[in-house]
Each structure stands twice: as C-alpha cells, then as structure tokens.
Structure 1
C-alpha cells in the first residue's frame, strides 16, 4: 500500500498543505505572511506569494464544492446591503442569509437601485428549483420593485428591526476588510468574499443554538466533508 500524500496536478506541495493554507486564510483573520510563518513552524517552507496563488486558484473551487454539499436553505431569506470603499469609490455588497444565518450568496455591485436588486435576486435563484416563503429586508424600495418582478408570489416584509440576522452576517466581512486594508478591486472583492462566505460558514455554525455534543458532531462532519471535497487524503 502506498503512503504517498495526495497532490494536485502541477503543484509540488501535497494537497494537504495547500488545502490547509486555504483553510487558514478563509477561516481566520490572517495575512498571507502570517500563514507563511505558521507553515514554516511546521517545517513547510513556502513563500506568501505561493500561498496567495493557492488561495486564488483553489478558494473558489473549494467553495463551489461545499455549496453543492450544503443542505437546502431555509424558507425565510434575509437580505441586506452595505457599502464597500474600493480605490476611493463606493460599491455595495448585497448579501442574503436564511433564518439560520447561513449565507446564501453575495454580490458586489456599483449601484443600490432596482436593477441591482433584481440582478441579485436572479443570482440567488440561479440553479434553484424552489423559492423562499418569505423575504425580510430593510426599507430600501429597490427590494420591493425587484420582488414584484422576480418573486411576485413571495411574501415580503420590510423592517429595520427584523433584519438583524443579515446585518450581523456582515461582521466577518468587515473584519477581513480591515485586515486586508480594503479590497483592491470589485473583482477581487467578489472573488474573495464569495469563497470566504461559503468556507467560513461551513465551519461556523450558530454555536449558541446547539448543545455541546451536537456542535462537536457538526464540527466533525464539517471537517470530514472538507477533507473529502479538497481531496486532501493520503493516496491508497
């Protein structure tokens, strides 16, 4: 039986090292140089530039695989948008979560109008065979226009107080934005935040809602799924 570690085609480092670096980058507020130091302490000598390329190459791929494995989202969707300042210009990050706090999707756009809201709704529904039962948003009128055109049969409530779940889900983004000293372009923000939302959420269930033993089972299952989807297992 071979005990050689699994590798990705074209990469000399084992798959376990690469997926661990990607995991560190998306789960914790660490810089690329921080991860370089952590790996060096374990005897893995790799430059932060290589780690950056790993995250660019595999982050979105791993996130897409986790998205396919996630259970069906809840039937109540909370939507919210916050501004991002990129190169001195204002952009808007649209985000949707279900009633359990699971991030459904994000979209970085230049505007906060009805067209942008409609585009975000269509992105949310892409590939889904069902619609939510209820939408909860703040008082932005663009949501009402998009809801009438895209989700006309869905109940829609607007309230600044009922939408805390979506607003709170922006906190990890704000932490990473500060750590990364702001995003460099809308494309970079979209690419990173799409992967970050899925990978971060996969390992961060709502801890305060579950008993300790249930939480540990969920955590073990999350690690098992991660290892399976990133192929970071010893080759047989």
Structure 2
C-alpha cells in the first residue's frame, strides 16, 4: 500500500480480512480437490489475548492440507469436532490416521469408531517420525502468524487463519482450475476469474 501512496491503519486491513476472507474461502472451496486418505494430524498453538488456543491441522501423506480447526480447548471433544469437520470437508473418512502421543486424540478416534463415525477398519498409528510432515507444515502457518500484532478476538483469529490456510492451499496447488475454463491458469487474471466464478 505504501508503494501506491496509500496510508492505511491495521484496523482497515483487519476489516478487509473479516469481510472478504469467508467469501474467498467459499468460492475457492468449490474448486478444491480431494486429499489422500492417509492423514497426519497434530495441533499447534496460537495466542489470543494472551492465552493459548489450539489449532488442529491435518495433511495427507503428500502434504496436501485436509482441514484445520481453531479450538479454545485441547481435549477429546475438540479432537472429535476436528475429525468430524475434516471428514465432512473431504466427503469421506480416512483409511489411516497418524497421531502423536497425545492421549485425548487417540481416545477421540476410539470413541468415533465405537460410535460408527469412523470405520472399524480405519488404522490408527502413533508415530512422531511420520508426523514430521505435519510438524513441518505448521511452520508455514506459524511464520505468517508470528509477524502479526497478535489476535484479540477468537472470531478474528479463526477468520484470519482460514485466509492463511487458503493461501497455503493455493500455493500447494490443491484446486482444479480447469473447472473455471481458463486458457492460461498461470496468469494473474486467474485470481479474478476464480473469485468472480458463480
């Protein structure tokens, strides 16, 4: 903005993020491709008004983002809510779930299997080595969050993180842009075409 001679307050940018991010996410999600069925799941931490909140995230074995969910708590209910959201987003349950050693996440998977929300054939693995993929993926999100002035409200944090996650998915080429009928998907005009697609 400074290059264009515009002086903007941080609150103006925040208002833009709050207003436009949900619409961008909705429109881009129409073009999303399905991720793989071997999921690596982990949580990372985000500070909101001086208190830790928990960002549940999942990627497949190729590093494609499956889903994310910001939660005030890190417990069985939060893990189950994340799993349910991820399954809804992907339209199918995973064949394999790889977790770290946190007991609440393992219990959530067991309870979802018992309740029929996950197939009894879903394999559950606990491996710090296999979860290096998701740990590395957290870095891209945290690097964007760390340079910000901090979050004051949970809702603003959730919206901002959804925009950061969307940009990360775009970089990872997780969208089928052939469905927008563009000749040159590498052109910057692809952004405008995708955002204006109905």
TM-score by shorter chain over 0.5: yes
Task: Assess, with a 3 A threshold, how the Cα gap between structure 1 residues 37 and 166 changes in structure 2: closer, same or farther.
Answer: same
Rounded to whole Å, the distance in 2 between the matches of 1:225 and 1:77 is 30
Kept in 1, the 8 Å contact 2:42–2:99? The answer is: yes
Task: Assess, with a 3 A threshold, how the Cα gap between structure 1 residues 64 and 160 changes in structure 2: closer, same or farther.
Answer: same
Compute the displacement of 1:182 (Å): 2.3
Rounded to whole Å, the distance in 1 between the matches of 2:187 and 2:54 is 31
Q: Does 1:60 align with 2:22?
A: yes
Task: Assess, with a 3 A threshold, how the Cα gap between structure 1 residues 220 and 127 changes in structure 2: closer, same or farther.
Answer: closer
TM score, norm. by length of structure 1:
0.68
Rounded to whole Å, the distance in 1 between the matches of 2:130 and 2:36 is 16
**How many correspondences in the alignment?**
181
3-state DSSP of counterpart to 2:30: helix
Instruction: Specify which of 143, 149, 159 is matched with residue 191 of structure 1.
Output: 159
| Cα displacement string for residues 81-139 of structure 1 (whole angstroms, at most 9, x for unaligned residues) | 01222222121111111122122221111221111111111111225432111111111
Q: Which has the larger radius of gyration?
A: 1
Segments ≥4 residues shifted beyond 6 Å = none
Q: Does 1:231 align with 2:193?
A: no
Kept in 1, the 8 Å contact 2:35–2:65? The answer is: no
Compute the displacement of 1:37 (Å): 1.4
Rounded to whole Å, the distance in 1 between the matches of 2:39 and 2:79 is 14
Task: Assess, with a 3 A threshold, how the Cα gap between structure 1 residues 116 and 50 changes in structure 2: closer, same or farther.
Answer: closer
List gaps (5 residues or longer) in structure 1: 1-35, 207-218
The alignment's C-alpha RMSD in Å is: 2.5
| Cα displacement string for residues 153-182 of structure 1 (whole angstroms, at most 9, x for unaligned residues) | 211111111101111111122212221132
Instruction: Specify which of 96, 109, 122 is matched with residue 147 of structure 1.
Output: 109
Instruction: Specify which of 76, 79, 86 is matched with residue 124 of structure 1.
Output: 86
Rounded to whole Å, the distance in 1 between the matches of 2:103 and 2:72 is 17
- 2:126 is matched with 158
TM score, norm. by length of structure 2:
0.80
3-state DSSP of counterpart to 2:17: helix
List gaps (5 residues or longer) in structure 2: 113-117, 175-183
